[in-house]
Chains A and B, each alone.
Chain A
C-alpha cells in the first residue's frame, strides 16, 4: 500500500521536482499551489506527509503548519519544510514551530530521501 504525500508550493517547477522525486521513492503525490489550497485539500484527505513551502503568496507554510498543529486531526502527520530559506536561524525556527524536517532548496534526491526517512521516523515512531 503506497504512501501519500501532499506537496505544497506556489512554484510549479518545485512541485514538479518533488513529485518526481517522491515518485521515484514510490510515493503517491498530491499537489497544492498555496496555503489555502493545501488546507482545503487536507480537510478532505489524510496524506502520510506534507512537504510544505514556506514563502507562499496567499498563506505561508509556517501559518499552515501552525494550523495543522493546532488541529488534533492532524496529530502525527509529518510536515517537512520545503524552502529556499537557507539561514540557520530560519531552519531552527521551523523545527521549533512544528516542522518535522527541513529540506533546503536546491534539493538532491539523497537529501529528500534522508529528510523523508528522518521525518517519518521522528513523526511516527509510535
Chain B
C-alpha cells in the first residue's frame, strides 16, 4: 500500500531508473553471486582433492618406505641367517677336521716306541697357534674392563681416484690378538695293560709321576673313566673321551668389575673367579682335556696303550674369537653382547663358552660332575630328593618342559655351580631347539627372544664320528652361534631410518606445498572475489549511470513537453514544441502542437466574440447613458417648470395640475432611473462596496424617511428593537435602496393598520422582515412579483404608482450582495417581505445569482 503510494509519487525519471536498476543491477548482482559461489565451490573442491591427493601420496610413500624397509630387513635377515648358518657349519667342519687330525696324531703316536725321548719329540712337534688377548684392567669408573695397552689407532684410507670412489671399502687387518704357539696336548702316556702309566710326558720337559689310571682318583680331575674303555680296544681302534676338566666357579654371574663387587659387597678378586672374556679378563680359566687312546701293538700283541690329552683350549679357540657380526673376529669374547659361538658335546653339555663358568666340569674333589645351573622347579625337586647331583641326574628326563617362562633358581646361581647342561637347562628352551636341529647331524637356526634381545641362533653338528662319537648323528656335538637379529638388519634399519627421514622431508615439503597450494587457491579465490566485486561494482555504477542518462534522455523530452504545455497554459499561445525524430514523443509533440494551433484559433475566435460582446455591451451602456441623458434633458424642463408653476400658482386647482405634471415627470424619472440601474446590473457595470453595515441605524433612518408618508395615511410604522443584530455585511447604499423600496411598497399598499420592521440572526445570516397589514398578494402573484415589469393584478387594479421594476431591482441587488429576498402573504391580511443577508464578511461570498 505504502509502496504503491511511494511508486505513485515517484517521477517517471525515478521510475525509469528504478526499472533499469531492477532489470540490470539485480541480475548482475545475482550473476556475480552465482559466479562467486561456483568459484568458491571449485576452490573448495580443488583444495579438498589436492589435500586428499597429497595425503594419499604421503601415505603411499610411507607405506612404500615401510614395505621396502621390511623387505630389506627380511632379505638381510635371510642373508645373515644363511651367512651365520654357513659360518656355523664351517666352524663345525673345521673343528671336526681338527679332531680327525688328532686321530692321525694318535695313530702315528701308536707307531712310536713308548719312550720318554720319542714321546717328548712327538709332543714338542705338536704345537698350534692360539690367539690371546692382551692385558686388561678395570676402567676408571670400575664398571667395565679396558685394554691395559694403547688402543689400536684406526688409520682411515680414502679412495685414491674418483673411478675407485664408488663403494670403496677398506677393512683394517683383523685383530687376532697375540699369537702364541701352544702344545696341542697337555700329556702323552703309555699305559701298560695293567693300567699303569709306563711313560708319561708333558710339554716343556715335565715328567709327571706315573700313575695307575685304572683308578679314577689318578686321572685328570679325578674324572676320567677311560681305562675300562681302553681294554675293549683292538689294535687300530681309537678311543676319544668327552671333555673333562675341573669346574671353575664364578663368584657371581655377570660382569666381574670393581663396581659390581662393591654393589654385591664382595671382595674384588677377579683372579679367583672364573674367566668370562670381557666380563672378567683376569679370571681363572677352565682347564680341560679330551683324551685320545689306542692300543700299541707289538707283533700282533697289545703291549699297552698310548694316550694323548688334547688341551681343551684348542677347542675353545674355535669358538672364542668368533663374532657373528661385521667384526668377524675378536681376540676376546664379549659375552654381554650376545654375539658369540658356543660348543656343546653330543650330550648337549657346554664344552666351550665365553664364560668359563658355564662350561660343565667336574668337582675336582669327588670327580663327579658338578651340578649344573637349574631353574626353580628342578632346583626344588633336586633339593627335595636329598640326593647328590650325580645320583639325582639319572632319574631326570632331558629337555623336560623347557620354557622362557621358567626362571633360574637364585639358589642355583648362588651355589656357584652354574655349568650349562642343556638337557636340564629348563629355562633355556633353545636347548631343546638345538638338540632337535642336530638330531640328524645337519644344521639349522631359529630366532628366540632371550635376555631381552631377539637372537638368531644356529646349530650345526660337528661331523666327527671317531669312537664313541660315531654312535650319534650329532658326532662330537654341535656348534651354536647366537647373534642379535638387530645387528643383521642394522643396515636395513639404518636405511629404513634414512627412508623415514627422506619421507619425513618429502612429507614436510609436501605439507608445505600442500599448504602453499591451499594458500594460493585461497589467494586466487580472494583475488577472484575482489575482481568480481570490483567489476560488479563498476558494472552497477555503469548501469546506474546509463539508467540515469537514459532516464534523463527520455524524461528530458517529457519535461520539455510538460514545460511547453505549462508555458502555453500560462498564456504563451504561440509557443510550439520542437518535433524531433519520428517516435512517440515526436507524435506527442506534434499532437500537442496541433491542439495548440486549434486552441489558439479558438482563443482567437473567442477574443473576437468577446470583443464583439464587449463592443455591444459598451454600445448598450453608451445607449443607456445616452437614453438617460436624453430623457433627463426634457424632464428637466417639465419638472422644473412644473415646480416653478406650482409655486407661483395661487389657484389650488391649477396648482394641482402643475403638481400632477411634476408627479408624472418624477414617475417617469423613477422609471428611467430603475431601468438604468437594472441595465447597469445586467451589464455588470454596477459596483458593490460590501462592508459591515450598522443595522439598527440604517433601519431607523429608512423608517424615518417613510414615517411622514405613513402618517399621512394614518399608519403606524415601527422598528422592533428587540434582537436587532448590530451589523450586516452589505453595500449600505444598495441595502438602503432595497429597504426603501420594500418599506415604500408596504406604506403604499397598506390603508390601515401598521407596518413593522424587524431583524434577527438566522443561522449565520441576518433576516430582515418588513411586515404590513395591507392588501396582501395572491399565491399566483407571489411567483411573479420579482419579475421585470410585472405587478400583481391587485397592484394594477389599484392603479398604484410604481415602475414595476422595484422588486426586480431589489432582487438583483440583494442577490448581488450574497443574499436572498422573498415574500409571504395572505391576500387581504397583509404581506411580509424578508431579506437574508450575510452576517459577516466571507459568509457566502459575493457571488450573485443574476
Contacts and interface: CB of A to CB of B under 8 A. Distances in A.
Interface stretch (A30-38, A60-68, A99-107, A114-122): A99-107
Contact of A20 (B629, B639, B641, B676): B641
Interface in B629-675: 629-641, 643-644, 647, 665, 669, 673
A84 B637 contact: no
A17 B647 contact: no
Nearest to B633: A84
B846 interface: no
B20 to A, nearest CB: 66
A20 B631 CA distance: 21
A11 B640 CA distance: 14
Contacts, number: 62
B632 A105 contact: yes
B630 A24 contact: no
A108 B666 CA distance: 11
Nearest to A103: B636
Given A13-B637, A86-B673, A87-B628, 13 more contacts: A14-B633, A16-B637, A21-B640, A24-B644, A84-B628, A84-B629, A105-B633, A106-B632, A106-B636, A106-B637, A106-B640, A108-B639, A109-B644
Contacts of B639: 106-108
Interface string B399-412: 00000000000000
Interface in B322-372: none
Contact of B625 (A11, A16, A87, A109): A87
A4 interface: no
Contacts of A17: 636-637, 640-641, 644
A86 B644 contact: no
26 contacts: A13-B636, A14-B633, A14-B636, A14-B637, A17-B637, A17-B640, A17-B641, A17-B644, A20-B641, A20-B644, A24-B644, A83-B629, A84-B628, A84-B630, A84-B631, A84-B632, A84-B633, A85-B628, A85-B629, A86-B673, A86-B676, A87-B628, A105-B632, A106-B665, A108-B639, A109-B644
Contact of B635 (A16, A20, A105): A105
Interface string B612-627: 0000000000000100
Interface in B727-761: none
Interface residues of B, number: 22
A21 B636 contact: no
B644 A84 contact: no
The 3 closest A-B pairs by CB, nearest first: A84-B632, A105-B636, A106-B639
A57 to B, nearest CB: 13
Contacts of A14: 633, 636-637
Contacts of B631: 84
A86 B632 contact: yes
Which of B632, B633, B641, B673 has the most A CB atoms < 10 Å from its CB? B633
A20 B647 CA distance: 12
Contacts of A86: 628-629, 632, 673, 676
Nearest to A87: B625
Contacts of B644: 17, 20-21, 24, 109
Interface of A: 11, 13-14, 16-17, 20-21, 24, 55, 83-87, 104-109
A104 B639 CA distance: 12
A87 B673 CA distance: 10
Contacts of B641: 17, 20
Contacts of A83: 629
Contacts of A21: 640, 644
Contacts of B629: 55, 83-86
A13 B636 CA distance: 9
A14 B625 CA distance: 19
A108 B625 contact: no
Contacts of B633: 11, 14, 84, 105
A88 to B, nearest CB: 9
Contact of B643 (A11, A13, A105, A109): A109
Given A13-B637, A17-B637, A106 B630 contact: no
Contacts of A108: 639-640, 643
A29 to B, nearest CB: 14
Contacts of A24: 644
A107 B676 contact: no
A41 to B, nearest CB: 22
Contacts of B643: 108-109
Contact of B636 (A87, A107, A109): A107
A106 B669 contact: yes
A84 B638 CA distance: 14
Contact of B647 (A55, A85, A105, A109): A109
Interface in B219-264: none
A24 B636 CA distance: 17
A106 B641 CA distance: 10
A33 to B, nearest CB: 15
Contacts of B673: 86
Contacts of B630: 84
A55 B628 CA distance: 13
A107 B637 CA distance: 8
Interface in B155-188: none
Nearest to B628: A86
A85 B630 CA distance: 9
Nearest to B634: A13
Nearest to B733: A88
B628 A106 contact: no
Given A17-B641, A106-B665, A84 B647 contact: no
A17 B640 CA distance: 7
Nearest to B644: A20
Nearest to B635: A106
A14 B636 CA distance: 7
B523 to A, nearest CB: 98
A108 B669 CA distance: 13
A89 to B, nearest CB: 9
Nearest to A53: B633
Contacts of B632: 84, 86, 104-106
Contacts of A107: 636, 639-640
A21 B636 CA distance: 12
B640 A84 contact: no
Contacts of A11: 633
A76 B386 CA distance: 194
B676 A84 contact: no
B676 A106 contact: no
A106 B638 contact: yes
Nearest to A14: B636
Nearest to B648: A24
A90 to B, nearest CB: 8
A14 B647 CA distance: 18
A119 B631 CA distance: 26
B669 to A, nearest CB: 6
Contacts of B625: 85, 87
Which of A17, A21, A105, A106 has the most B CB atoms < 10 Å from its CB? A106
A16 B644 CA distance: 12
Contacts of A106: 632, 635-640, 665, 669
Nearest to A54: B629
Nearest to A24: B644
B680 to A, nearest CB: 8
B303 to A, nearest CB: 205
Contacts of B665: 106
A22 to B, nearest CB: 12
Nearest to B673: A86
A44 to B, nearest CB: 29
A84 B669 CA distance: 11
Which of B628, B629, B632, B640 has the most A CB atoms < 10 Å from its CB? B640
Contacts of A13: 634, 636-637
